[in-house]
Amino acid sequence: MGQIILASASPRRRELLEQIGIHFEVCPAKGEEVITKKLPHEAVEELAGQKAREVAGMVKSYGASHEELVTPQDILIIGADTVVAYGDEILGKPKDEADAFRMLSMLQGKTHEVYTGVSLVLLDASGKAGELTFHEKTAVSVCSMTEQEIRRYIATGEPFDKAGGYAIQGKCAIYIDKIDGDYNNVVGLPVAAVYQKLKKLGIDLYLW
Amino acid sequence: MGQIILASASPRRRELLEQIGIHFEVCPAKGEEVITKKLPHEAVEELAGQKAREVAGMVKSYGASHEELVTPQDILIIGADTVVAYGDEILGKPKDEADAFRMLSMLQGKTHEVYTGVSLVLLDASGKAGELTFHEKTAVSVCSMTEQEIRRYIATGEPFDKAGGYAIQGKCAIYIDKIDGDYNNVVGLPVAAVYQKLKKLGIDLYLW
């Protein structure tokens, strides 16, 4: 059995990996996120890759400097980044209440897309690395919301650490009319795609 | 403020109402479920109505026999029933491991529909009643599963108390390619539709 490392501090991503019943460690990437891409699917892949490679670098340099401590096992590092896209705009986490209000006012009564980029970095015990990066897109249709409903939702405190200012898995559920795609991709990690892409490479996440 | 009663023993439905942050009591209907309808949307509406009306009857007869104990408040009773439909077949909870295997073998690699019927019975303090019954449909596309994957999933124990033999919100998440519709409808209660339908009637679930 190898080790699985989630390169993200997101409690939602951790909960999703716990939900599917795999054993993993959490080691969040700490580096500054540098976006050079304008298209949402490119931006999330870029950031997911940065996170996974940063943690892979930590693991590898640890291996180089403390060789005797390195356990001879394979390591899978999972990096991910999620954004909301509406029209030409990419929405990350709202800066403040006014920003959350602006985002929710824009999204209410409309359909937008949620993109999660995932980067899977595989290190074998000898230090060799492989990387698979992809993204998933889910369309989310939000019900019409009155100004009062938007303010009441913001008052729950949920919007502030969520891309697009809402949590589909939280109290915003009552305003989600429908989705087209993977639900967990909106929550923050498309665990089906992670499992299925690794399966195509001959890797069983449960036997890693 | 009135009282909200969930007429279901399902822990998933309870969790969904907790997720959206409303206060409610649980009072599961106990009567035998009698299906006289063949179409899935009619069957779930019929069963949801039976559950909600049974609990409403308990509340009303309690009110009649212990008049002094009745609190003068409005009561909203939520009944729900969920089935999986594939082709002409309606799938409830699997009877045993072989039945779960049969269901999952049928659903893997295909798209099926999940129907949840919801019955909202409103009792005002004077004992007058109103009822709103509806259903939601969500299409669920399941990835191809090998026989080994189906057996491994059954071994988690999840299939046995779930319509269609799987839990989208559990370990089956890795096999759900995509959905079209409301996710929580597949989990067991379309909380968005409950909130939005009551809103159209001028009822705010949070101010009930």
For A121-156, the pLDDT digits (tens) are 999 877 677 999 999 999 999 999 999 999 999 999
Q: Which residues of B touch A156 (CB under 8 A)?
A: 21
Per the CB < 8 Å rule, is A196 touching B169? no
Q: Does pLDDT of B64 surpass 80?
A: no
- Tell which of B108, B116, B150, B178 to mutate to test the A interface (max A CBs under 10 Å): B178
With cut-offs at 50, 70 and 90, classify the pLDDT of residue B35. confident
Which of A173, A179, A183 shows the shortest C-beta gap to B191? Answer: A173
DSSP for B23-58, written as a single string: --EE----SPP-----SHHHHHHHHHHHHHHHHHHH
Cα B165 to Cα B120: distance, rounded to the nearest angstrom: 27
Cα A121 to Cα A7: distance, rounded to the nearest angstrom: 10
In chain B, the residue whose alpha carbon lies closest to the alpha carbon of A197 is B174
pLDDT of residue B27: 96
pLDDT of residue A69: 47
Which pTM does this prediction carry? 0.94
The H-assigned helical ranges of chain A are: 11-19, 40-65, 97-107, 147-155, 183-187, 191-200
Cα A175 to Cα A177: distance, rounded to the nearest angstrom: 6
Backbone angles phi, psi at A80, to 5 degrees: -155, 150
A23 touches chain B (CB under 8 A): no
Q: Does pLDDT of A70 surpass 80?
A: no
Cross-strand bridge partners of residue B133: B119
pLDDT of residue B62: 65
Least Cα separation, residue B4 to chain A (angstroms): 16
Quickly tell me which residue has 């001028």 as its tokens.
B202
Backbone angles phi, psi at A156, to 5 degrees: -70, -15
Q: Does pLDDT of B69 surpass 50?
A: no
A22 touches chain B (CB under 8 A): no
Q: Which fold has domain B3-207?
A: Maf protein (3.90.950)
Q: Where are the domains of chain A?
A: 3-200
ipTM score: 0.94
User: Does domain A3-200 fall into CATH 3.40.640.10?
Assistant: no
CA-nearest of A15, A11, A7 to A33 is A7
Dihedral sign, Cα of residue B198, residue B201, residue B207, residue B208:
negative
Q: Does pLDDT of B98 surpass 90?
A: yes
Burial class (CB in 10 A: 0-12, 13-18, 19+), B180: middle
Residues of B forming the active site: 81
In chain A, the residue whose alpha carbon lies closest to the alpha carbon of B194 is A174
Cα B114 to Cα B184: distance, rounded to the nearest angstrom: 11
In Å, how far are A7, A198, A208, B171 from A205, measured between CA atoms?
16, 7, 5, 13
Q: Does pLDDT of B71 surpass 90?
A: no
Q: Does pLDDT of A62 surpass 90?
A: no
Q: Which residues of A touch B21 (CB under 8 A)?
A: 156, 171
In Å, how far are A2, B82, B133 from B79, measured between CA atoms?
46, 11, 9
pLDDT of residue B119: 98
With cut-offs at 50, 70 and 90, classify the pLDDT of residue B68. very low
Please identify among residues 153-192 of chain A the ones whose CB lies closer than 8 Å to any CB of chain B: 156, 168-171, 173-184, 191-192
In chain A, the residue whose alpha carbon lies closest to the alpha carbon of B197 is A174
pLDDT of residue B88: 86
Per the CB < 8 Å rule, is A192 touching B171? no
pLDDT of residue B116: 98
Task: Give the H/E segment covering residue B184.
Answer: helix B183-187
In chain A, the residue whose alpha carbon lies closest to the alpha carbon of B191 is A174
Task: Give the H/E segment covering residue A113.
Answer: strand A111-123
> A90-131, pLDDT tens digit by residue?
999 999 999 999 999 999 999 999 999 999 999 987 767 799
With cut-offs at 50, 70 and 90, classify the pLDDT of residue B66. low
Per the CB < 8 Å rule, is B171 touching A195? no
Residues of A forming the active site: 81
